[in-house]
Structure 1
């Protein structure tokens, strides 16, 4: 069953920020690493919001999602891990020798000594607008994500939703759109407090508690919408050029739910060392729940390092508990020399 399969020290399932950083950190700890991603490229949830500006990563000034993905991708490959794309792991079996055999939907098999799950919210699908006939406008001016801000310049935009993305899009579009209106079913917004305050203090027209209830158009594009007050049922019409929907995501963890892991309320319960209830399986990122969880990208990096350190100690109980910092880590000596040589060369 495992004959001919290459054995890896660590296999990371999930190629979002947590998975990419964990792959890098695994190289720092000199472990033979494989990174498996369900989709055709690394990036995870950020791929849905490439134009979104991210402010809350230590040491990095505001950065667009697409650029952060590029940098994380480059960092993840620092120590040449094996990267497998377009593979959904459907089966996990712990063998008699303690190793794990992973099987993908494609039939490909992977052999590993430990597993780190960084699957985020699983396979994500957008919550579609629940209005009859809405799908006909998806090819014109009904959007579920913002790919390029410039397409909204000088336009009248209505955003339906109250999460981080809705608030961020409102703040991003406010300086360039002719007008931005945000409608949300509740008075409270789920975005970060600073960004919500920024939106409310700008020219964005915030309407709560309202819901988008009707689309009016010519069959190919929307030119007007109706929103309804959730309590009084009062209706208001807005002329629009674009409608953006941010009603959240549906998450699907698929076969992972059948692996015997302790999953509660759609989150995998781990301890402070990112250990799951199955020895040899660790987890990090949005998928996990623990008392000190920080639900920021910066928090996923910490989770990933903790999970990897636990995997290292699982494999070698005599190992140091954490990696040496990069300035003292031998794995960076040759890489630093190359960087310094390139710097000298470019200065001449």
Structure 2
């Protein structure tokens, strides 16, 4: 039998990483398991994106924030396991659980917090025949380096947060930015949409990309054709041809929860249903972050942190019904005394 942990967190994104930190405040023996070979979750897809909405943190690049969250997660020395996708769940007679990875490893735990995001994420591809040939040149599904687009004519296809955010980020440095979206209304945050529309960004709605034309050598996109969408959602003959140097497609992410869908959890296509305590319909299993669905859900990184703390508190009370409802705040938590000393902070100042 493998070593028994109080809590096993499945998923290494913001919610899982904060859960690993907060469970240390609750004095729980913790393991975090991530399917990929690196931590960060969905944040890995947008390293250059600016994050504005984390309380007390000034505007910061996603990659920098991710590294800070990762460092924080190691505060209480949790066991971190990378490169293992959890596929199996077995409940033993004593109520503890065995989690089995696709690689065959087994993990013994009293409780589980699922922080799966939207599952194993894959970018929704541009559904135009032959589009994939341009993926090695100037057709992009994410932005790794803003400088790559400096002084270029950039077309963005999409209308969610990512498309709007990239349009605003690229507008000061690109030669021109055009956004094409199937609907009149954008799904991004209202303030960011307004900023985009008040800038030099050219917006075409309701339009969709229908054709990519290559350059003379055929290895890069030179022109894009877009067509107007009618009220029935079909393309019309009203078309516009645009010259471009780069195309960025932000049509969303498609998630796959894998074999976890067979565990008996109450879930929808993109998330798992929980109650106000972040408890699932299966005893001892809790959910936090984008995976969690409940009426007052806040889909922000700040909301993921709150979810994580609530889920960990529920896991603690599941194991120890007489435990405190929540951890002492850090300024009064005894677990930080030695850490404060290491930082040169006196008990009076702490």
Identify whether the pair has TM-score above 0.5, normalized to the shorter chain.
yes
Distance 2:63 2:176 in 1: 26
Distance 1:143 1:291 in 2: 35
5+ long unaligned stretches in structure 1: 343-348
Residue 270 in structure 1 maps to residue 296 in structure 2: no
Distance 2:106 2:133 in 1: 41
Distance 1:240 1:123 in 2: 32
Task: State the 4+ residue runs in structure 1 displaced beyond 4 angstroms.
Answer: none
Secondary structure, in 3 states, of the residue corresponding to 1:264?
coil
Question: How high is the TM-score relative to the length of structure 2?
Answer: 0.95
Residue 331 in structure 1 maps to residue 335 in structure 2: yes
Residue 198 in structure 1 maps to residue 198 in structure 2: no
Distance 2:148 2:271 in 1: 37
1:134-154: CA deviations, max 9, x gaps?
111000000000000001111
Distance 1:266 1:240 in 2: 34
Map of 2:224 onto structure 1: 225
Residue 284 in structure 1 maps to residue 288 in structure 2: yes
Q: Among residues 298, 303, 324, which one is paired with 2:302 in the alignment?
A: 298
Map of 1:161 onto structure 2: 158
Map of 1:57 onto structure 2: 54
1:47-89: CA deviations, max 9, x gaps?
0111111111111111111011100100001100000001000
Secondary structure, in 3 states, of the residue corresponding to 2:199?
coil
Would you say how many aligned residue pairs link Structure 1 and Structure 2? 339
Offset of residue 264 of structure 1: 2.7
Offset of residue 266 of structure 1: 3.0
Distance 1:132 1:42 in 2: 34
1:95-131: CA deviations, max 9, x gaps?
1111010000010110000000000100000111111
Distance 1:235 1:314 in 2: 60
Map of 2:22 onto structure 1: 25
5+ long unaligned stretches in structure 2: 231-235
Instruction: Give the RMSD, CA atoms, in angstroms.
Output: 1.0
1:192-241: CA deviations, max 9, x gaps?
11111100000000100000111111321011111111124311111110
Residue 6 in structure 1 maps to residue 3 in structure 2: yes
Distance 1:213 1:259 in 2: 41
Question: How high is the TM-score relative to the length of structure 1?
Answer: 0.96
Distance 2:269 2:252 in 1: 17
Distance 1:134 1:253 in 2: 27
Map of 2:247 onto structure 1: 243
Q: Among residues 93, 99, 115, which one is paired with 1:102 in the alignment?
A: 99
Offset of residue 292 of structure 1: 1.2
Distance 1:34 1:236 in 2: 54
Secondary structure, in 3 states, of the residue corresponding to 1:298?
helix
Q: Among residues 257, 260, 263, which one is paired with 1:259 in the alignment?
A: 263
Offset of residue 279 of structure 1: 1.0
Secondary structure, in 3 states, of the residue corresponding to 1:263?
coil
Moved more, 265-274 or 24-33: 265-274
Map of 2:124 onto structure 1: 127
Map of 2:233 onto structure 1: none
